[in-house]
Chain A
Amino acid sequence: MTATPAAVPLLEARGLSFCRQDEPVFAPMDFQLHAGELALVEGDNGSGKTTLLRMLAGLLHAGEGELYWRGAALQRDAVVGEILFLGHQLGLKADLTPRENLRIAAGLHGARKGASVASVLARIGLPGYEDEPVRRLSAGQKKRAALARLLLLPASLWLLDEPYANLDRIGIALVNDLLEDHTAAGGAAMVTSHGTVAFHGGEPRRIRMHD
């Protein structure tokens, strides 16, 4: 639960844009994301969805515009650990098992209250594969192993780049469950997708990327 009053958005962007070699990747954007809210970033291939998420995560420097975190200008040092980014590259070491990968993540980021590596693995559904090297898992299983990080690490904003890719129907339902629990607990999430996605928790906010 966050103590922030609902009026102050968790994250706010004003006139945000990004330039690659002086070419704008996307037009200036304005949006607000409140605690407990889920935003779906939509756009075609190459419209800058991943760029937007990487920029919000702090991996890319913003070209123009301002970002505000809980009402104050965003300071990277202040939000570190509050934002969890899951990109196309899953950040799993192929030679380590899902359990070992999660243990390392917990060692670096800390663990959510009440969450442990074992409980998270049980929830995510990799029975029998917890102690197999990640390189032997299928693409969908790798994705699940990476999604386990969402359950384990403490963060108030999730930035998920194509979390549904490679997942089966049960996996997609799992992502939706995770998102619902997270937003119900006062967290916020931004999810990119170029397909149609059905959330069970009602209609999400949509942020449309346009050139």
Chain B
Amino acid sequence: MNRPGLATACAAMLRRDLTLAWRRRSDIAMPVLYALIVATLFPFALGPEDTLLQRIAGGVVLVTVLLAMLLALDAMFASDIEDGSLEQLVLSPQPLALLLGMKILAHWLTTALPLIVITPLLAAMLHLPAAVIPVLLLALLLATPLLSLLGAVLVALTAGTRRSGMLLALMLLPLCVPAVIFAAGAVAAAQQGLPWLAPIAWLAAALVLAVVLAPLACAAALRIALDA
């Protein structure tokens, strides 16, 4: 029996999810559109006062991007459970955690990456100083995968239940808070000309931990969801 290697399996999985996302392009556009609308509305609501917008810009962009990500989080495993693909993944001779890791990566690539790409635009609309934008991007590059991974665990935990959206939002809130605090802390420090490496390092440490543990937790939770 010739069993495919891990690399082949990971590539197949990643290609599958990216193809699926491409077939439903409008779903990718939704979070981007949402973030654009929110960032556009802020200056209208608060008035075009430069100093005020500058002060809140970092936080607004961060929160907008993270909330936009949540829009697509709910659907991460739903279709796979519905059409029986998840059963086939569980029964495949590959480590389930690794396959789910690939799914989370595909999810990040299709939801978070487009948001990060438009972040400079959002930041410019809110008059964030150009020098701070790289720090904001770095913070988002660490905070968004962290949120994807933590979110995936919660989605997997609530997979068996109906109308899990509400429960998911409640459970995710306390997990989001540290990511937002560290990311916003780094941006605020950079804006004031202070060293910003420490909060970024904290985010990176949390991300490393999540990369290792979250797929394992997802795999365990989904096995339990199927075993009912």
Contact = CB atoms under 8 A, between A and B. Distances in A.
A22 B118 CA distance: 54
21 contacts: A57-B91, A83-B91, A87-B84, A89-B84, A91-B85, A92-B84, A93-B79, A93-B83, A95-B19, A95-B23, A104-B15, A104-B16, A105-B88, A107-B11, A108-B4, A108-B9, A108-B13, A108-B89, A110-B93, A113-B2, A154-B2
A58 B226 CA distance: 10
A107 B4 contact: yes
Nearest to B4: A110
B150 to A, nearest CB: 26
B187 to A, nearest CB: 38
Contacts of A57: 87, 91
Interface of A: 57-61, 80-81, 83-85, 87-96, 100, 103-111, 113, 133, 154
Contacts of B88: 85, 91, 105, 108
Contacts of A80: 91-93
Contacts of B23: 95-96, 133
Given A81-B3, A154-B2, A109 B16 contact: no
Nearest to B99: A108
B29 interface: no
B38 interface: no
A103 B20 contact: no
Contacts of A87: 84, 87
Interface of B: 1-4, 8-9, 11-13, 15-16, 19-20, 23-24, 79, 82-85, 87-94, 99, 226-227
Contacts of B13: 104, 107-108
A93 B87 contact: no
B87 A89 contact: yes
B93 A59 contact: no
Q: Enumerate the 5 nearest inter-chain pairs by beta-carbon distance, A residue then B residue, closest first.
A: A107-B12, A89-B84, A81-B93, A91-B84, A91-B88
B90 A59 contact: yes
Contact of B83 (A92, A111, A113): A92
A109 B93 contact: yes
Given A81-B3, A113-B2, A154-B1, A108 B94 contact: yes
A87 B84 CA distance: 8
B227 A95 contact: no
A46 to B, nearest CB: 17
